[in-house]
Chain A
């Protein structure tokens, strides 16, 4: 989660802490079930410590163990399989990547994940199976590599906001349409009042579906810092909407917005450029 690009080499790195957000406490060991161990189930820990498979991985990966080299090779093979699977799952973000280039991405992700796993072996505390912990590094590597690739091929246009697409041919009742239009115009005014960075991040991620990782790369920062901008922007917009007489709650929105009809006013279009 959260450690993007070069800053995401390991899950605990955090160059941009979010002081106003609460840190997640570690799970108490006893909270994790140890009753199930079948395929698809989870048996991360027993009262005596990590389950046998995890212990075996950790012991054999230690330098000096007689099976060290075979175990490293085995782990690399598994990480590579996971990387291929995950890259395939995210193929829609890779567009034209195929063949050798795809294989190369998977290989790089597996290589980098392996380095991180070996570097941080002492940090494995048995809160999950060893494999689950190790696959976390693959996910972070794949996230970063996919974003880097997407950014290189097609840098995200974080400024462009296609307000015209907000029009919906499905008509609501005239009074509903007016109310929704007023709501969206209030939103556009609130967006214009954000700081430049907040606006850039909100428009890109929340409105234009730019992947947070790609945006972080574009802004030369990391995912956590971008998320903080997004979080602050959302809070501010929510407050502005409430102050403007358009409080946002799930119930009110669903009641008001049965369809997408309103077109945002010129303020938003101007602010997005």
Chain B
């Protein structure tokens, strides 16, 4: 059950939200910027906003970030 104390989060709907599909196309680049220590919100503000509002996309993002960290430098043989 969601905690209704944070109504601002519960009702978060920002104009610049990029939506799920827009973020899907650049999720790899977004994560790569994070791994490089850069601020992806500067380049992809719509996705940064979206990830705060969409738990599904946030789960994909978190998984990809973790996978890229752990398995990112694997090369073909």
Residues of B contacting A127 in the complex (Cβ-Cβ under 8 angstroms): 26, 28-29, 32
Report how many residues on chain B are interfacial, defined by Cβ distance under 8 Å: 62
Interfacial chain B residues near A241, Cβ < 8 Å: 7, 11
CB-nearest residue of chain A to B34: A42
A24/B23 in contact, CB under 8 A: yes
Interface residues on A, range: 35 or more
> Does A151 touch B at the CB level, under 8 Å?
no
Interface check A75, CB cutoff 8 A: yes
Contact among A21, A27, A235 for B18, CB-based, below 8 A:
A21
- Smallest CB separation, A238 vs chain B (Å): 5
Does B28 contact A207, Cβ atoms closer than 8 Å?
no
Contact assessment for A39 and B44 in the assembled complex, using a CB-CB cutoff below 8 Å: no
- A131 neighbours in B (Cβ, 8 Å): 68, 71-74
> B34 contacts which chain A residues (CB < 8 A)?
42
Contact B16 A22 (CB under 8 A): yes
Q: Are A132 and B32 touching (Cβ within 8 A)? A: yes
Are A14 and B21 interface neighbours, CB within 8 A?
Answer: yes
Q: Which residues of B contact A85 (CB under 8 A)?
A: 66-67, 70-71
Binding site for B on A (CB under 8 A): 1-4, 8, 11-14, 17-18, 21-28, 31-33, 35-37, 39-44, 53, 56-57, 60-61, 67, 70-71, 74-75, 78, 81-82, 85-86, 89-90, 127-129, 131-133, 135-136, 138-140, 142-143, 162, 165-166, 183-184, 187, 205-209, 211-213, 223-224, 227-228, 231-232, 234-235, 237-238, 241, 248-250, 253-254, 257-260
Residues of chain B touching chain A, judged by Cβ–Cβ distance below 8 Å, are 1-8, 10-13, 15-29, 31-38, 43-44, 46-47, 50, 53-57, 59-61, 63-64, 66-77
Kindly list the 5 A-B residue pairs having the minimum CB-CB distance in the complex, ordered from nearest. A2-B20, A42-B35, A234-B13, A128-B28, A1-B24
